[in-house]
Structure 1
Amino acid sequence: MVCEKMNFPENSLFLVTGGAGFIGSNLCEAILDMGYRVRCLDDFSTGKKENIELCMNNSNFELINGDIKDFETCLNACDGADYVLHQAAWGSVPRSIEMPIFYCENNIMGTLNMLESARQNNVKKFVYASSSSVYGDEVNLPKSEGREGNLLSPYAVSKRTNEEWAKQYSMHYGLDTYGLRYFNVFGRRQDPNGAYAAVIPKFIKQLLRGETPTINGDGKQSRDFTYIENVVEANLKACLAGHNAAGEVYNIAYGGREYLIDIYYVLVDALGIKDNDEKRLEPNFAPDRVGDIKHSNADISKAAKMLNYNPKWDFKRGIKEAIAWYKEDLQIRK
Structure 2
Amino acid sequence: MATILVAFDTLDEGFERIPSDHTLIRPPHGRDFTQEELAALLPEADVLCSVFDIPVRADLIARGGKLRLIANYAVGYNNIDIDYARSRGITVTNTPHSVIAPTAELAMALLLSCSRRIVELDTMIRRSPGVKVAMGRTDRMGLPLAEKTLGIVGYGNIGEAVAMRCRAFGMKVIYYKRHRLSPQEEEAKGITYASLDELLRASDVVSLHTPYSPETHHLIGERELALMPAHAILINTARGAVVDEEALLRALQQGSITAAGLDVFEHNDCPLAELSSLPNVVMTPHVGTQTEDARLKMNHEMLENVARFLAGRTDISRVV
| Shared fold per TM-score greater than 0.5 | no
Larger radius of gyration: 2
Larger relative contact order (C-alpha < 8 A, sep ≥ 6)? 2
Q: TM-score under structure 1 normalisation?
A: 0.38
Q: TM-score under structure 2 normalisation?
A: 0.39
